[in-house]
Structures are given as C-alpha cells and as structure tokens.
A and B are shown apart, each in its own frame.
Chain A
Amino acid sequence: MEELSAAGEPAIATHALTKRYRGGQLAVDRLDLVVPRGSVFGFLGPNGSGKTTTIRMLMGLIEPTSGTARVLGEEMPRAGRRVLPRVGALIEGPALYGFLTGRDNLVRFDAADPTADPRTRKARVDAALDRVGLVAAAGKKARAYSLGMKQRLGLAAALLQPRELLVLDEPTNGLDPQGMREIRTLVRGLASEGTTVFLSSHLLDEIEQVCTHVAVMAQGRLLTQGTVAELASSARGRLAVTTPDTAEAVRVLKEHGVNDLTVDDDRVTGELPVVARELADLNAALVRAGVRVRSFGTERASLEDAFVALTGEGFDVAG
C-alpha cells in the first residue's frame, strides 16, 4: 500500500528547500518545486542560479539547510537507499575513471548499486552502451574519450537500469549537433516509456523542443513553473511587417499605439496590441498610408522571450 500512495505523488516535490553553503552563499532560497510524474521537466536558469545545488540536494549529496525534498514519494536524503536505485543521474557533467575502459567504468558504477544483479550486469552494460551509441568505443580507456564521448558514457551510467526518474544536469553539454539530436530522441523515447525526465539546460530551444513542463530559477529563487505552453503564452507575441517603406510604416504603427518598434532591414517589429481586432485595422491603415506591405503577421512568443522577460536580460551571472 505504501508503494501505491507513493506512485500517486509527484516525481519530485520540494517544500521551502534552502541551501546556504558553508561560505555563506545562499544558493537555493525557499524553493517549492513540483515535478509531475511522466513529465519532461526543463529546469532553466542563468549560471549560478542554483540548479546544480538543487539537484545535489535531490540526490542526497548535500544536506539542505532547511526545507524538505521528496523524490519518488520519499524523503531525501533519508530514503536514498530505496529511492536512488530507481533514479538515473548525470550531475555537473560526467566523471570517469580515466584508467578504465568505457565498459569497465559502467561495470564499476553498476557494482556500486546493491540492487543491481551481477548476473545481468554484462547484458545491461552492453544495452546501455548501445543506447548511447558507444559500442565501438567501449574498449577504449576513458581518458582517451572526447568530451562528447564522456558525456555519452555518463548518460549510459544513468541508463544501466530501467529508471522511474532521470535527473540530467545539462545533458547535451559538449555534444555535436547529431549527438544533441540523439539525446533529444532518447529523452522522448524514455518519456514515452513512462520515465519522468528532469533536465537542466541553458539551451532554451532544446527545452522548448523536448519538455512538457518548465521551471525558471534566478539567484536561487523559483521565478515560475508550469507547462511550456503556459509559460510561452505568458509572454506576448510580436507584430512583424515586411516592407520597403520602413520609415513610413514605423510612423503609422506608432500612431496606432504599437510600442517597442524596431527596424531590421526591411522588417518592422513591435509589441502586439492587446486587442486582436485591431490587427486588421492596422494593416488597412498601413495600406491607406501608401506603405507597400510585403507581409504582415504575428510571431509566436518563444520560450526565450518568456525567459528574458522573467530574468531581465537573462544570462548574466548574479554575484
């Protein structure tokens, strides 16, 4: 029965989770995060915003200063022995034994899991290597691996068992475009099997492509969380007009209350008016003023717009 009630709980739920490092740095500040089961959850934030610190607390590597973290329905770090075998993790990039081959690295990490059956070890290691496309390089010493190969091997270690939750801290760091695409496909495949994926990333379009949910951190605080669609729609889209008569177009649009106008070659963009009905009137006004309109339309707000709107200019590191 205990297992059942746990299955109904979110994959990750934190309550007022706080971490102050020994140096006094407040890295995570009263974080309330809820990661639904079955979601692909993007964890966004500028450098130093506390993403890795949060993940370390979730994995029981560091003790929270205050607050609680529940993973797969049980409290961390206390229930680590029961929870962690069901979780695969890649934290702050891969770390490998350079003097061991890729395959032996996986054997070593698998041997550290007391719930891993030694009889199936070889088969599981081979399957994990296959899954990340490293079979051909499995016999090479890990110190001779490229960054992308190390990253793949780290992922393979997270996939040694069927997992209920995957925690991936910047999983595509160092990968080539082909590798990035493979990871995205892998994440989608795992998600369709029912694995919850929690991934932090700096690549907004990547989050937009694979994630169903997203949370945004800045300076240790949670700014927002919700579905990707909700967040993107919270940032308003923009009006875009293509015309050779840009100066005239800007004048007319300004008259009609369009703000934040910018001109880029023959493209004029501006903040979309709040009422949609005005769109057709705007176009008519442009034409009446003799502006030769080549195209007229709206651009959907991207996650990046939403992110910049939330964090200010976004990617500056806060002290």
Chain B
Amino acid sequence: MSQAEAGAGSGAGAMARAVPAATARRTPSPLWALSLFRSEVATVFRRWRTFALLGVLAAVPVLVGVAVKMETQDGGAAGHGGGGPAFISQVTNNGLFLVFTSLAATLPFFLPMAIGVIAGDSVAGEASSGTLRYLLVAPAGRTRLLLAKFAATLTFCCAATLTVAALALAVGAVLFPLGDVTLISGVTVSFGEGLLRALAVAGAVALSLVGIAALGLFVSTLTGSGIAAMATTVGLLITAQILDQFPQLHAIQPYLFPHYWLSFADLLRAPVYWDQVLDNLGLQALYAAVFGSAAWARFTTKDITA
C-alpha cells in the first residue's frame, strides 16, 4: 500500500513534490487527542481567577473552624439552638464534622457559583477573546472541544469540593479532637469509617455540581460574552434556589437541580438512606444529558464570527 502510494507520488511530478513531505505522512495516534483535555485543565488552573475562587472556598472551613473554636472557648457548646449550618454543634466533639459542616455551608451557593463561573466562561470566554476560532482551525473539532471543556469543568468540580473537604479536615484536626464518629442515627463508627463516609460525602457533593456545570456550558454556547454567560449561570442558580423555597411550587421542585443537594447527609446514617441520594444523582444525570445535548446542538451549528 505504502509502496504503491510512493510510486504514484513520484509519477504525479511537480504537484506531489510541492506537498511538504511531513504533512502527507502524519499518522496520528488516538491518544494525541487527549492533549486537548490536558491543555484545557492546565489552562483553567493557570488562571489567577481560578485560584481566587478556590481561595474563597478554602476560606469557609477556616472561618467556620475558628469561629466555633472562639465561641466554645467562651464556654458553652456552639450552635445550640442558634441554628447555623448542619452538624455545626458536633464540631467541638469531633473535628471530622467540620468537613460536613463546611460542605453543607458551601454547597448552596459558593461551590455552585464557582462552577457557574468556570462553566459559563468556558466557551463564551474563548469566543470573546477570539481564541475560539484558532482552536477550531487547529482543528480541535467542535464536539471534541465541547467534551474537553465539560470534562475540564467537572475536574474543577472535584478540585473545588476537595479543596473545601481537605482544608476542613486539616483545620478540624488542628483545632478539635478527632475520634469515633457518632452518626445521625445515633450509631457510633470508627474514625476510619468516618473518613470513608467523608470521602463518599465529598463525592456526592462533587456529583451534585454536574447539573449546573452542564447548564453553564449550554449558556456559554449561547453568547459571545464570557461575563454575560457567567452572570446568567449564577443568576439561574439563585433563581433555582429561591424557587426551591416556595412550598406552593412543590410540583416543579423535584426538577430543580439544587433540590436534592443536601441529601448527602443521608450518607451519614446507618443504614444509609439511598432514596434521595439516588434521586439527586439521577437528576444531575438528566441535566447533563439535556443541557449537554443542547450545548452540542448549539455549538456544532453555530457561526463563529468573533
């Protein structure tokens, strides 16, 4: 085959010679396509803005931990009767609970807002800076680029959740005692199992963010302005959170992406209550499918003029 081609090539004379040899003989490996995903992740994590977002998230466990410590030093247990984030009253007994408290405190707003910024900016930001056209003529391929952007956003979801959880664990370990964990249902488990459950909770929280990541990606394909896409995504988050508060709207609430977010607490029961946890995962998968397809349909047919 290659010999036949070489023979035919020399027969074609000047035209064949005019083609630079290296371009005609490139045989790409499928693995090279992964470069784009790596490059996406690297690009997200080399922005000052990404670290600002992670910094805000990292501040939450530190502030909560220090506040609880100061309050309990004045005497009396924290959070009793005063409400506050879930599990806060347990933190003084066991630093591990700072992980649950911090995730419960950041999940309603800070975490999804950070995802909304990254997802909203992912396509629209490149469109407004003009780099999108150069990625497309590289050629990144529209479907592949969209997949790489979604995957990079999900990577950021994990990184953001882990930042909160890891910092909470570290602060909890420094400021409070660690030990056996008393679950919500009253059963006490070893610290090792507690840690495993914390990991599961972090996983559930990260997966809770898939819906807004897909939504943000879709919004991002609609506009040529990164700022507009970020603002719209965060606006949708706030709207969904508000709608989720009205009892009159109970008919649509099961379809709002934040509706089952706090179900992660059910992982801290023995036995675990799976119903809402699974409802949450199903809803996030539904959002990923619907808005992922919508983003794909929009992006693959869009005129890129910026």
Contacts and interface: CB of A to CB of B under 8 A. Distances in A.
Interface of A: 1, 3-4, 7-8, 21-22, 37-38, 56, 59-63, 80-81, 84-87, 89, 91-93, 95-100, 104, 107-118, 154, 157, 161-164, 193-195
Contacts, number: 143
A63 B301 contact: yes
B301 A80 contact: no
B18 A37 contact: yes
Nearest to B145: A112
B225 to A, nearest CB: 15
A163 B24 CA distance: 10
Interface of B: 5, 8-9, 12, 15-24, 26, 28-29, 32-33, 35-36, 38-39, 43, 46-48, 129-131, 133-141, 144-145, 301, 303-305
A6 B218 CA distance: 38
A7 B28 contact: no
A305 to B, nearest CB: 33
Contacts of A38: 18
Nearest to A91: B133
A162 B23 contact: yes
Most chain A CB atoms below 10 A, which of B12, B35, B145, B301: B35
A194 B23 contact: no
Interface SS of chain B: helix
Contacts of B301: 63
Q: Which 9 A-B pairs have the closest CB atoms?
A: A95-B130, A194-B18, A112-B138, A84-B139, A111-B39, A162-B20, A111-B35, A112-B140, A62-B303
Contact of B139 (A80, A95, A117): A80
Nearest to A89: B137
A118 B15 contact: no
Contacts of A100: 43, 46
Contact of A194 (B20, B39, B134, B145): B20
Contacts of A194: 17-20
A1 B48 CA distance: 51
B9 to A, nearest CB: 8
Contact of B141 (A81, A96, A107, A116): A81
Nearest to B15: A7
A56 B305 contact: yes
Contacts of B28: 114-117
A92 B138 CA distance: 15
Nearest to B35: A111
A317 B303 CA distance: 24
Nearest to B135: A112
Given A91-B137, A113-B139, A117-B32, A63 B303 contact: yes
Contacts of B15: 7-8, 37
B135 A109 contact: yes
B48 A99 contact: yes
Nearest to A56: B305
Contact of A95 (B16, B38, B133, B140): B133
Contacts of A154: 134
Contact of B305 (A61, A104, A109): A61
Given A100-B46, A109-B134, A114-B141, A86 B23 contact: yes
A161 B29 CA distance: 16
A111 B137 contact: no
A91 B130 CA distance: 10
Nearest to B48: A99
16 contacts: A3-B24, A37-B15, A60-B139, A61-B136, A61-B304, A62-B304, A63-B301, A87-B137, A89-B134, A95-B130, A95-B134, A108-B43, A112-B134, A112-B139, A114-B141, A163-B20
Contacts of B131: 95-97
Contact of B20 (A91, A115, A157, A195): A195
